[in-house]
Amino acid sequence: MTLRHSVLATDGAARAGVLHTAHGEVPTPVFMPVGTAGTVKAMTAEALRSAGARMVLGNTYHLMLRPGAERIAALGGLHRFMDWHGPILTDSGGFQVMSMAQLRRLDEAGVTFRSHLDGSEQRLTPERAVAIQHALGADVTMVLDECTPFPATEAEAAASMRLSMRWAARARDAFVPRPGHGLFGIVQGSVYPALRAESVAALTALGFDGYAIGGLAVGEGQATMFAMLDATVPLLPADRPRYLMGVGTPADIVGAVARGIDMFDCVIPTRSGRTGRAYTSRGVLNLRNARFADDPRPLDPDCACPACARHARAYLHHLFKCGEMLGPMLLTWHNLAYYQDLMRGLRAAILDGRFAAHAAAQAARWAQRDEA
């Protein structure tokens, strides 16, 4: 395994570094837009690059069902297929099997389920998940795990986590090392610190290129999520990247970076963009609100994206009220650009040794009301 992460600076537990992959270097901390089915919704690859994205996420579950990993491989791999020539991380599909698939049956070998698309029976094992991601050409492959439901008793969480650890060992054996590609293990254990510690010990004994923290942001609340990070992150190897899966809001990200997380993904900026919610340096705005109908100001004066540089809030409000597709496109672009600006600001603050002051100043700005 040759994927590397260089830590350039620390400020408290916060880290700034570089992830070295087969398709380029990625400054960390990094936010990865979610391109579940080979596209980040409402965004072209060129728009993603313009918004500042450096790495994106695809998904094994969706791509294996449609159009199929073998077809994508025959067409030159996922990078070529979606015109994204930077690094790609592919989620193993475990969360989607739990949340979307029909008639899921779990056993020691893997999971059998029926596709949410056509009801066809499908089988996913740790080995097959790795093979699919290999066919896609992912720079970062994720092990197959069971995403433990929340809430779960400690006994239920323990059984789920230990199954995921056995699957992780099989994924480790199945992974084919090649330059610039890597395999990440996933820490599970729900909201039980002792189980999280047991999971870290099992994964680090196997040895992975990076370590993800899964099973959070599933309803436990921000305070509990941060408590689990406090219990887990210090146990992870300092020389490997740390990835908090499926998180989150800007405040979630700042708090997680403060605790030593390097990598993030979440559907929030794109999903919110499609429904009229904008993340800005002054908080969250709902562009469907009537107060924006006559507002001539830019969405966020600190943002240079097309939505902010070329249009007024009144125009964006008009697009959503009329159901025009340009509204979700512009607001998705803005939200992704805002998230990338957020990450750049956090990284610069870490490199300059002023992370705490930067985070406090940002929180104060979010707390201010954006008056019409």
Would you name the residues annotated as active-site residues? 91, 265
Tell which residue, 281, 274, 278, 239, has the closest CA to residue 260. 239
179 token code pair = 């330059």
Q: Within 10 Å of residue 103's Cβ, how many Cβ atoms? A: 9
Look up residue 345 and give its amino acid. G
Angle, helices 126-136 vs 154-174, to 10°: value is 50
Angle, helices 355-367 vs 326-352, to 10°: value is 150
Quick one: three-class SS letters along 251-306?
HHHHHHHHCCCCEEECCHHHHHHHCCEEEECCEEEECCCHHHCCCCCCCCCCCCCH
Q: How far apart are CA 339 and CA 316, in angstroms?
A: 19
Give 320's contacts (C-beta < 8 A, 6+ positions apart): 276, 287, 288, 327, 328
